[in-house]
């Protein structure tokens, strides 16, 4: 892994020629979408973003402050076929990063999760099939679809047994893409993301990954709250590495119709992660609290990925060390917290 400092978010990998390419990013004002957009603008791609900016989700106008004026933005819901039909036309690539990602929300409002992770996905795929079937699509899926690991590290052949509605619907989203690939010959590839972190992630509340709210708690001087005993192990990818994987996936014909895990060989337990954050922050408290029952019911325990397949086929591997990525991320929120929770 490389040591990277200030320029971490500008991290550029050998991920093909993007000059003049027309790229649509669904969920483009979100965490990963906006990092990808910035990267593609630097590569001189012609970038269009579509995002519904639902307040509970990851979209944030500030996320694209650095590329405002260099990208086309559509604030629209993917379920609006009239708009989506129009937006997908004449695009070369579609990065499909749109969705609802909060596990607990999906249990409380399963029909809303269905709307965002299934109906919206079908709407987007139908729009592509009817208006631009040659578009190359990369879909961001999630390790959540594996459910409680039967073994670790989890490879792509691991049984799929999601433990929450979000996992069920994300799996359906993945399967829709595979059906459109198989039945209509569309060019689709799928990345199953593990915990992704970095600048522009949603840190406002506990909706998305625990790491987000920990960053906020740390910077606000309140204790980081760990549920359970903190022994659960996880792997993390810095967003720049995920952007690199997305770009490779889109460009490499070897990715067509395939599913790849992302992951990291730096596996830590939650207590170690919290301690690392406190160290990087130069102070802070950690509080071990009982697992809330509703979270415990959908918890997956320890998880980390076997990502050898994408290394073998696309040459991808994570380059950013956890300590460097976290330092960069903390620094970002120290400077920009007003944009994310105040």
Could you say which of 15, 165, 270, 280 contacts a second copy (CB under 8 A)?
165
Which residue, 126 or 331, has its beta carbon nearer to a second copy? 126
Whole-number Å distance between alpha carbons of 310 and 331: 30
Which residue, 165 or 322, has its beta carbon nearer to a second copy? 165
Number of residues that bind a second copy (CB under 8 A): 31
Minimum separation from the CB atom of position 105 to a second copy (A): 14
Distance of CA 140 to the CA centre of its chain: 7
CA-based torsion, 186, 187, 192, 195: positive or negative: negative
Stretch that binds a second copy, among 113-121, 210-218, 261-269, 333-341 (CB under 8 A): 113-121
Stretch that binds a second copy, among 157-165, 200-208, 266-274, 311-319 (CB under 8 A): 157-165
Tell me the residue ranges of DSSP E strands in 129-202: 136-142, 187-193, 195-197
Six token digits for residue 333: 């929120």
For the chain, give percent helix, strand, coil, nearest 5: 45, 20, 40
Phi–psi pair at 286, nearest 5 degrees: -120, 135
Stretch that binds a second copy, among 90-98, 161-169, 246-254, 307-315 (CB under 8 A): 161-169
Minimum separation from the CB atom of position 156 to a second copy (A): 10
Does residue 13 touch a second copy according to CB under 8 A? no
Does residue 155 touch a second copy according to CB under 8 A? no
DSSP characters for 286-300?
A: EEEEPPPHHHHTT--
Does residue 119 touch a second copy according to CB under 8 A? yes
Minimum separation from the CB atom of position 158 to a second copy (A): 10
Does residue 162 touch a second copy according to CB under 8 A? yes
Q: β-pairing, 286-289 with 71-75? A: unpaired
Minimum separation from the CB atom of position 183 to a second copy (A): 4
Could you say which of 65, 72, 75, 179 contacts a second copy (CB under 8 A)?
179
What would you measure as the largest C-alpha separation in the chain, in angstroms? 55
Q: H or E element: which one contains 212?
A: helix 210-220
**Residues within the interface to a second copy (CB under 8 A):** 107, 110-111, 114, 118-119, 122-123, 126, 157, 159-165, 167-169, 171-172, 175-176, 178-179, 182-184, 297-298
């Amino acid at each position: 892994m490389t040591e990277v400092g200030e320029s971490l978010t500008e991290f550029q990998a050998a991920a093909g020629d993007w000059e003049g390419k027309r790229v649509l990013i669904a969920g483009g004002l979100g965490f990963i979408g906006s990092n990808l957009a910035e990267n593609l603008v630097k590569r001189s791609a012609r970038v269009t973003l579509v995002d519904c900016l639902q307040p509970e989700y990851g979209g944030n106008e500030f996320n694209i402050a650095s590329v405002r004026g260099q990208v086309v933005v559509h604030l629209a819901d993917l379920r609006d076929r009239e708009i989506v039909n129009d937006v997908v036309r004449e695009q070369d690539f579609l990065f499909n990063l749109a969705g609802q990602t909060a596990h607990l929300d999906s249990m409380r409002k399963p029909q809303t999760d269905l709307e965002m992770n299934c109906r919206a996905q079908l709407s987007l795929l139908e729009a592509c099939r009817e208006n631009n079937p040659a578009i190359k699509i990369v879909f961001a899926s999630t390790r959540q679809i594996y459910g409680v690991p039967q073994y670790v590290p989890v490879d792509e052949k691991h049984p799929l047994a999601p433990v929450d509605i979000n996992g069920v619907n994300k799996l359906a989203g993945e399967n829709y893409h595979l059906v459109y690939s198989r039945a209509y010959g569309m060019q689709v590839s799928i990345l199953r993301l593990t915990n992704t972190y970095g600048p522009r992630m949603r840190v406002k509340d506990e909706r998305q990954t625990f790491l987000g709210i920990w960053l906020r708690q740390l910077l606000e001087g309140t204790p980081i709250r760990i549920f359970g005993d903190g022994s659960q192990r996880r792997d993390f990818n810095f967003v720049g590495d995920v952007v690199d994987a997305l770009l490779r996936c889109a460009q490499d014909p070897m990715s067509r119709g395939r599913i790849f895990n992302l992951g990291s060989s730096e596996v830590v337990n939650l207590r170690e992660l919290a301690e690392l954050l406190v160290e990087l922050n130069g102070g802070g408290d950690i509080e071990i609290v009982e697992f809330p029952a509703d979270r415990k019911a959908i918890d997956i325990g320890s998880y980390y990925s076997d990502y050898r397949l994408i290394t073998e086929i696309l040459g991808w591997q994570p380059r950013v060390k956890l300590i460097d990525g976290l330092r960069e991320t903390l620094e970002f929120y120290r400077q920009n917290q007003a944009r994310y929770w105040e």
